[in-house]
Structure formats: structure tokens, C-alpha cells
Structure 1
Amino acid sequence: MNDSPGWAVPGPSPSDGDRPGAPDGQDGTEGARPPAQQPPAGGPKWSAEQPPPGEWSSPGTPQAPQPPQPPHQQPQPGAGWGSYAGPQGGQGRHGTYGPAGGPGQWGKPPAAKPGVIPLRPLDLGEILDGAVATMRSHWRSVLPITLVVATVVQVITVLVQKYTLADLPVTNDAQPSLRELVDTLGGSMLALVANGFIQLIGTIVATAMLTMIFSRAVLGHGSSIGTAWREARPQLLRLLGLTLLLGLGGALLVGVLIAPGIAMGSVGVGLLGGFVALPLLLWLGIKFSLASPALMLEKSSVPTSLRRSSRLVQGSWWRIFGITALTGLITAFVSAIIVWPLTAVGLAIGLADGGVAGLEDGTAATGWAALILSAVGAVIAQTITMPIQSGVTVLLYVDQRIRREALDLELARAAGLENYGPDPAAPPTGG
């Protein structure tokens, strides 16, 4: 056994307290008792205070039977900080433990969990569980935000598809003139750009407010819609600028790489540039994927948030890419099983009204039934998946800061956990 200072021996051991030739109390172990083979002469030589159950006892003095205590019982999963002793050692609920961080420690104590995640580096399951747990426990704040944003976006999308895209010449018997085609495409592109801008604004507002809700959920605090709006509003313009900057930067990168092929009139060179652009876009997208929560939670500027994301992702690119890609696959699957059945029902209704000719002239896909049912499915899917995607991004940001900057200490103080740290004066209690 290790007899380092401050350690409490969990049970009898021949090396601790039964050393041949060692006088009582002089063998370096506090509270050492005489060996079991030595009979008491002239009465007990130790104090009247009896040892704890399961440890040493006098061989000649009868005692009431005591239930044995398991000396090496491991802490149960999910146990709180109260299961472990403080700096002086002591008896916990799961046995005798030494000071946290001491030599020979029997494993890492479970981290405090004031909110939806434990305050320690997270794994994939804890990140996904934290995102879903926040949506489940704070649904009164999360779901109305995403529901309103998704509804507004889909209503505008339905109107654009009905009154703009339906005007595109798709008939086979009539070839439109070049002027008609340009006018129609110009109007449609303008409507699509306006629709995309509305979607961008809605996504930015939802992302900003959800970021604030998730940041409070990490601390175990609730957040109303009004509170989330007041906290997110000062950074909305910067978040818009960050989103536009990333989008324009990606478009510029693609344009620069395919420009030589366009200038040379070579399709092969253009495709080669496009193939080179794809991995670069993916690498930059992951590299700056944590810029949004850094901008919102640190109240920083756009360039500072980009630098912060680059530093946090450095060395963990593949891990963040894997978690982000898996989250995208999960949300895409959830969206598909919601949207596709409703879209199929809408197309079936359109075919029942217009027949097979509706597929040829496009009226089946742009009919009210198909558009409305598809929009309803999209609203439901976005209401569910948008919080998961935002939550995973925020929790990845928190996880990287815990790993690199010991953010868990600051979060513990903000959550009201006293004396939380590597060498606390008293074990804190997680909420």
C-alpha cells in the first residue's frame, strides 16, 4: 500500500500497521494498531476509541459483530462530488478515498454537471445528448423560435415557387425566344435571391438566440425568448457580416479556381479547379465553424471570431469534422423521413387533379397541394433539426475551450459551484 501523507488506508494490510518491530504509533502510519498475533498483556494498550468496522480489532476482547464494509468498492457511475473526500482524505459514500489528485488515486472523480453537460471534455454522445436535452428541457424557449422562423421562411418560399418558378417555360411544344427566357430567368433569380436573403436573416436570428439559450443551459439556467433576444441583439449585425463574409469568401475561392478553365475555354481545366475547390471549402468551413459561437458568446468582432475559431479547431480538425458530418447526416435523415412522405402525398393529389400531364408541364409540383404539404413537412423538420445543429456547434465550442483553456473552472464559478478546481478546499456539489 502507498503510505504517502494524507492517504487513508481503505482496509487492513500487512504493510500498513503490521510491520514487524515497529512500535505502536511510530511506523509512520497514523493510528497504527498492534498486530493481530500479539495478545493483550495487562489490558488493552490502545485507546478506548474503537476502530471503524471492517478494520483491526482486539483478538481477546469480544465485540458485537459488525457488518463488513467492502474496502475497494468503486464509485457508482453518476455519483456526485460528495462521494469523494477532500484534501485531508476521509470516508465517502462508496468507501474510503484519498484526496483528489493524490498519488495512487483510484480513478477520476465524476465531473460536476450543473446543466446539460458535465464540466469536462466531452465525447460524441455527450455532445449530441446535450443538444437534445436542451431542446427537451427548454422547449418553451427553443421550439417557438425555430417554429416561427421556419414558418416565415416556408411561407415566403411557397409564394416564390408558386408565382415565380411556375412561370418558367418548361413546355416541350413551344420554344421560348431568348428575350423571353432572359426575362423569365431574371425575374426568377431576383425572387430566389430575395427568398435566400429572407432565409439567411431568419437563420441568423434563430442561431443567435439559440446560442444564448444553449450557453445558459450549460450552466443549468433557463432562458426566456425575451432574454435570449436581448442578449443576442447587439451581435446580430456582426453575425450577419460574418455569415456574408464566409459566403462571399467561398464563392470567391471557387471563382478563382475555375477562372483559368473559363479563360482557356477548357472544360477539363474548369472541372479540375472545381474539384480542388471542394476540399478547400470543406477545410475552411470546419476551420471557421466555431466562429459563430465565439462571436456571440465572447462579444467579439468578426476578425477576432475567425481567429478564435482557427485556434480552437487547430489540432482537432478531424474530430470536429466527424461530429459535424454525423450531425448533418442525422438531421438530413430526420428531415427526409418527415418531408418526403408529405411531398409524395402532395404530388399524388396534384396527379389526381391534373393527370400525367401535370408531370410534363410542371403543374403537379407547383400546385397548391404539393407546395403546402411540402412546406408543412419542412417547417416540422426545421423546427426539430435547427436546434440540434445549433446546439452541437455551441457545445463543440464549449468542449474545445474546456480542453484548451480550462473553461470548466469558469463555468463552475458561473454556475455557483464553490471551491471547484484541481485542489478544492471542500468538494463542490453539482446541481
Structure 2
Amino acid sequence: MSGYEHFPPPGAPVGEPATPPPPGWAPPSSTTSDRQRPWTPPVGMLGAAHKPGVIPLRPLGLGDLYDASFRVIRFNPQATVGVAVLVAALTMAVPVLVTAVLTFTLGLTIDESSEGVGDTVSSWSTLTSALMLQVSLVFVTACVAHVVSQAAIGRRTTLAATWAATRGRRWRLVGLSLLVLVSFLAIIVGYVVAWVLVVELTDGAVLPLLFGFVSVPAFLALMGWVWIRLLYLPAPVLVLEQVGMLRAIGRGYRLSARQTWRTLGIALLTLLITVVAAQMLAVPFSVAGLLLSDVVDPAHSALVLVVSQALATVAAAAFAGPFTAAVVSLQYVDLRMRKEGYDVELMARAGVLGR
């Protein structure tokens, strides 16, 4: 009982003495400091400390990552979906403008006399869209990383503030985007050249089969390793830690250490989900473009086809972009909480630890 005050029972008249203390009880010594007694948080404060925003500040499982991703998007759709749509629209404006110039200056058309032109235009537009979308995804991830860091402490940011958060680091993000593109292209080209050399310099099928049996798993493992260890986390690091591109790559390499396969598994599952969902969102626009290209003036059919594919890409990016970027950013937060106590830093920024 030492250290606790006795209060009158409920309903007792004010002013009447409280229940007398038991024999031998004495008031606490004046030398006892409140700081010597363990502090117990008020009811409800513990839950707020672990989740001051939309993200539980503890190591995140797969379900936590996906649930938190959707919560971040719902919490701030303007700065997540909005930035993804804006970046995708600006990116897809390039093939649309190029096709428009070719259509109105050189008379690019799709008709029966131009066999293969439609397939060529469609393939060129699809390839350009895929490559440019991968480059733009780095910018989307960087912006959403800022949104995630604010949502983790219960703050909502605007699209303008999110874009302003990348000020001073945009050229580094451009360099990172190009590095991602060049790295994967170099690995793919190198692997194709290796296959050509093996096929051309050997007789029979035994050695090519053996090479394929050994090299295909190695090639996929190398692609996954480069993706996760070197190129997956630098975008959030660039924005949230304000370091250079090379230091961001090194930081991502250290954070993903001993977490490579877990991070890769989540990334591949996220990629599968977004690809399926993006295709479902893009199909109506693609089908509409194919139908319209058959009924409009042949002089404008190529432009109609490219515009429809651009709209399909923007529609797909409206989901795939913010969801993928949120998962990447949350994996960055998760790895820092697991390794560096980042949850304590976030709670301090939210003002929880100072209450």
C-alpha cells in the first residue's frame, strides 16, 4: 500500500474522513522521488504510442505491409494516386506527341496496304511505355516515401508539398532511374550474347542444354539480387535521408542485408498482384483503342491506337504506381525498425514520447 493515497468510497459526503489506514501504515518519505517509481502510461496511450498514424510502429508482416499500403493510399489519395497519375501522364505524353508529329507531318497511317505497320506502332508504343513507366516509377516511389513517412506519424501532406520534398534530389532520381534501366538492360544483353556464343561456338545440343540448365537459375538469381540489394531501396533513401545516389545505393545494400530473400519474395508477390490488376484496368482502354482504330479515318488510326494505349497505361499506373511505391517505402520503414529502432524515432517525431 505504500505510495498510494486513500480516497473516500463513492457516494461518501465531502469532508468526512476517509477510511482509516491500516495499522503500521506511514506516509511516504519526503526523500522518495516520483521519478523513482515506474511510470505507467494512461489507459489508451500505449496503443497510440505504437500507432500514432496509419502504420503500426513495429516490425511489419506481409499482411501488415499490404494493409498499411492501402491505408496510406486512402489516408492521402491526392499525394499517392495523384502523383502516380500525374507522373504517368507526363511520361506517356512523349509517345503520344511523337506519334502526333509523325501523323500530321509524314502521314503515318495504318491501312491494308501497310502490312505490319499497325503491329510496329503498337509494339513501339508498348515498349516505350514500359520503359518510361519503369523510369517514372522511381519518382513515384520517392514521392510516396515522403507520404508514408508523414502518414506514419499521423500527418497528411499535399501533392505540392510532396513534390517539394524532392527538391534538390530530382537529378539524383533521374540518375537512379537511368541506372535502373541500364543495369537491367546490360544484364539482359549480356545474357543474350552469352547464349549466342554458346550456340554458335558449339556443335550439338548437349552443351546448350547444360548451359541453359545452369545459367537460367543463375540469371534469375542475379536479376533478383541486383534488384533488391542495389536498386530497390535507394529511392526512399534519397528522399528521406537526403544523401547522394551512390550513398543511397550503399544504404539500401546494408538495409537489405540478411533480409534479401524475404524482401525479394514480397517484391515479387507485389509485382504479380500489380501486373494482374494493371492488366484488368488497362484492357477496356486497349480494346476501345483497337475498335476505334478500325472505324476512324486511316490517317488518324495510328494516333488513336497510341492514345488508347497511353490512357491504358495511365489507368494501370493509378493503381500499380502508388501501391508498389507504398510497399517499397513500407519495406524501407520496416527494415529500419527491425535494425535501427526507427519506430522510436517516428514516435518522437509524432510527439508521443514527449507526452
TM-score where L is the length of structure 2: 0.71
Q: 2:174 aligns with which of 237, 240, 245?
A: 240
**Structure 1 contact 365–371 (Cα < 8 Å) conserved:** no
Q: Which amino acid aligns with 1:115?
A: G
**Structure 2 contact 141–328 (Cα < 8 Å) conserved:** no
Q: Which has the higher contact order (CA 8 A, sep 6+)?
A: 2
Q: What is the CA-CA distance between 1:398 and the residue it aligns to?
A: 0.4
Is residue 388 from structure 1 mapped to residue 323 from structure 2 by the alignment? yes
**Structure 2 contact 234–248 (Cα < 8 Å) conserved:** yes
Cα distance in 2 for partners of 1:282, 1:242 equals 17
Q: What is the CA-CA distance between 1:325 and the residue it aligns to?
A: 1.4
Change in Cα spacing, 1:172 to 1:222, as seen in structure 2 (3 Å) is same
Q: 1:208 aligns with which of 103, 120, 142?
A: 142
Q: 1:307 aligns with which of 228, 240, 250?
A: 250
Secondary structure of the structure 2 residue equivalent to 1:233: coil
Change in Cα spacing, 1:399 to 1:167, as seen in structure 2 (3 Å) is same
Q: What is the CA-CA distance between 1:164 and the residue it aligns to?
A: 5.9
Change in Cα spacing, 1:366 to 1:218, as seen in structure 2 (3 Å) is farther
TM-score where L is the length of structure 1: 0.60
Is residue 375 from structure 1 mapped to residue 310 from structure 2 by the alignment? yes
Cα distance in 2 for partners of 1:301, 1:172 equals 53
Is residue 317 from structure 1 mapped to residue 260 from structure 2 by the alignment? yes
1:53-77, CA deviations, whole angstroms, 9 ceiling, x for partnerless residues? xxxxxxxxxxxxxxxxxxxxxxxxx
1:339-388, CA deviations, whole angstroms, 9 ceiling, x for partnerless residues? 1133223323444569xxxxxxxx79954554444433322221222111
**Structure 1 contact 261–270 (Cα < 8 Å) conserved:** no
**Structure 2 contact 135–181 (Cα < 8 Å) conserved:** no
Is residue 414 from structure 1 mapped to residue 349 from structure 2 by the alignment? yes
User: What residue ranges of structure 1 are gaps of 5+ in the alignment?
Assistant: 1-24, 32-46, 51-85, 94-99, 101-108, 177-184, 355-362, 420-427
- Quote the residue 1:217 is aligned against: 151
Is residue 87 from structure 1 mapped to residue 38 from structure 2 by the alignment? yes
Cα distance in 2 for partners of 1:248, 1:175 equals 29
Q: What is the CA-CA distance between 1:303 and the residue it aligns to?
A: 2.1
Q: Which amino acid aligns with 1:279?
A: A
Change in Cα spacing, 1:368 to 1:255, as seen in structure 2 (3 Å) is closer
Cα distance in 1 for partners of 2:54, 2:347 equals 13
Cα distance in 2 for partners of 1:205, 1:171 equals 41
Q: What is the CA-CA distance between 1:140 and the residue it aligns to?
A: 2.6
Q: What is the CA-CA distance between 1:253 and the residue it aligns to?
A: 3.4
- Quote the residue 1:229 is aligned against: 163
- Quote the residue 1:283 is aligned against: 225
Q: 2:75 aligns with which of 122, 137, 142?
A: 137
Q: Which amino acid aligns with 1:220?
A: G
Change in Cα spacing, 1:151 to 1:175, as seen in structure 2 (3 Å) is closer
Is residue 115 from structure 1 mapped to residue 61 from structure 2 by the alignment? no
1:93-147, CA deviations, whole angstroms, 9 ceiling, x for partnerless residues? 8xxxxxx9xxxxxxxx786211121111011122112221111111233333222
Is residue 126 from structure 1 mapped to residue 77 from structure 2 by the alignment? no
Q: What is the CA-CA distance between 1:402 and the residue it aligns to?
A: 0.3
Secondary structure of the structure 2 residue equivalent to 1:234: coil
Secondary structure of the structure 2 residue equivalent to 1:121: coil
Change in Cα spacing, 1:382 to 1:246, as seen in structure 2 (3 Å) is closer
Secondary structure of the structure 1 residue equivalent to 2:345: helix
- Quote the residue 2:8 is aligned against: none
Cα distance in 1 for partners of 2:183, 2:210 equals 19
- Quote the residue 2:284 is aligned against: 341
Secondary structure of the structure 2 residue equivalent to 1:383: helix
- Bigger Rg over Cα: 1
Identity of aligned residues (%): 25
CA RMSD of aligned residues (A): 4.1
Q: What is the CA-CA distance between 1:414 and the residue it aligns to?
A: 0.8
Question: What pairs up with 1:165-184 in 2 under 5 angstroms?
Answer: none
- Give the paired residue count: 310
**Structure 1 contact 115–220 (Cα < 8 Å) conserved:** yes
Change in Cα spacing, 1:252 to 1:140, as seen in structure 2 (3 Å) is closer
Q: What is the CA-CA distance between 1:195 and the residue it aligns to?
A: 7.0
**Structure 2 contact 85–314 (Cα < 8 Å) conserved:** yes
Q: Which amino acid aligns with 2:346?
A: L
Q: What is the CA-CA distance between 1:175 and the residue it aligns to?
A: 11
